[in-house]
Structure 1
Amino acid sequence: MTDTTAPVLELRGLRKSFGDQEVLRGIDLAVHRHEVICVIGASGSGKSTLLKTVNLLEGIDDGQVLLQGEDISDPRVDVDATRARIGVVFQQFNLFPHMSVLDNVTLASRKVHRASRPEAEAIARRLLDRIGLGEFAGAFPDRLSGGQQQRVAIVRAVASDPELLLLDEVTSALDPQLVGEVLDLVTELKQQGSTILMTTHEMHFARNVADRIVFLHRGEVVEQGTPAAVLDTPQHPALQAFLARVHA
């Protein structure tokens, strides 16, 4: 039984090492319903690993991952059932090349959530129409630009109405002119009330969309707050140095 009063996601003392390298060093973080949190930090700070532990793609060494108050880091948890509650989009689009756009978007709804094909396709077509890709429903991914493929990947992640959406640097593999259309879709998802934890290197986007920005440095949350507080008046020397490099 999930606790509807709890944060959608809560990380308590999260630790993760690869060999002798401690990548996550006691992460405490809560993501509340309808909140958009942008995680920023230098390459190697642990951002992608953080999202992978939330989606149970990486095990943890210590701490807890709570989804709606349920400890999903418990080894006895049903991993597949838990992942079905979380939408994930990584840097690469990972669309199935042998399946149409429509089949890519409906696959999880039909196979995991047991929606009927007509029901799943109706939802998928409505979402594709909303992002201006309805005409490509029957097309294969190689007919789409990188920006279009990434938007389809995001639509696929939200088609099953997940409790939490994880976005890992979803614009990093795109040409600069395609970044805007993907970020516009994320902005729309925020306006619709999605709960999103995302990593990004787009500071302008983080400023405009995030409810809170979290700065990760060497596997630790060293500063967090509103976009204005974090980006305009950074307190931690590592954050000051990071922002200076980003804006250089």
Structure 2
Amino acid sequence: MAGHSKWANIKRQKAVVDAKRGKTFTQVSRAIIIAARSGVPDPALNFQLRTAIEKAKAAGIPNENIERAIAKGAGTFGGDNTSLEEIRYEGYGPSGVAILIEALTDNRNRTAADLRAAFSKNGGNLGETGCVSWMFQQKGVCVVQNVVDEEQLLEASLEADAESYETSDEIAEVFTEIANLENLSQTLKAKGFSVTDLELRWIPSNSVEVTEPDQARSLLKLIDTLEGLDDVQNVTANFDMNEQLMAASMT
């Protein structure tokens, strides 16, 4: 799974910008609503909801806002008739890079129009359902901070039936099947590791190397534009780019 952490590093760099424009607040609140709606609205009994709440608290979202989001998802928030649905969109960016977009929306037509405009203005094309999703497989990911003994991490990961892991500095990402994510997280924590984030991530089966500066700038601008849309929860792409070009293209 080499290279997937590079994409995660891009996401972390963008997180600073996202937080400034209130994007994180919207994303996490909607994630709580969906999690509460898809299972019981009790975090003790709903792993997805518990994970969303942890992310909300880490992002500094007040408890009253978290409770309001849970109530909306459970249908107990008076006067709120908003109906959000999860939709996955697919398309191609500059250099033929495959892009998956996960959205939560109360208006499919508006979301599709916004996405189509973002693609067309940045050298890409919004495609039909299924045009790129066959290149991706969804996995559960545990992000572990302050890893000092990689051998211990390997042993704990194997014990928890993880599939693989990647390390960068003192940060590790451990990959597993979605159904095993909670078990993996609990095992790593029991072994003394600092699990700071849990997520579901689309992992590409192949990658497109981007080497041209103009293409790199257009691609990263497209991704940034897509992530800036209110209805978009997550964007994943199958490109590879060296760090120097990436840094130059994000300025």
TM-score (norm 2): 0.27
Higher relative contact order (CA 8 A, sep 6+): 1
Larger helix proportion, structure 1 or 2? Answer: 2
TM-score (norm 1): 0.28
